[in-house]
């Protein structure tokens, strides 16, 4: 279960970074 949560958080963080990068450009 813990690994699934970590994967979910990392995926969310990646999407957040991608969104921020798109906003900056």
pLDDT tops 90 at residue 1: no
What are the E-state strand segments in the chain?
A: none
Residue 15 has pLDDT above 90, yes or no: yes
The count of domains in the chain is 1
Element (H, E) at 15: helix 2-24
Query: What proportion of the chain, given as a percentage, has pLDDT over 70?
Result: 100
Residue 25 and residue 17: Cα distance in Å, rounded?
A: 12
Q: Between residues 19 and 25, which one has the greater pLDDT?
A: 19
Regarding pTM above 0.75, the answer is no
How many C-beta atoms surround the C-beta of residue 20 within 10 A? Answer: 10
């Amino acid at each position: 279960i813990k690994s699934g949560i970590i994967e979910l958080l990392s995926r969310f963080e990646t999407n957040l970074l991608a969104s921020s990068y798109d906003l900056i450009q």
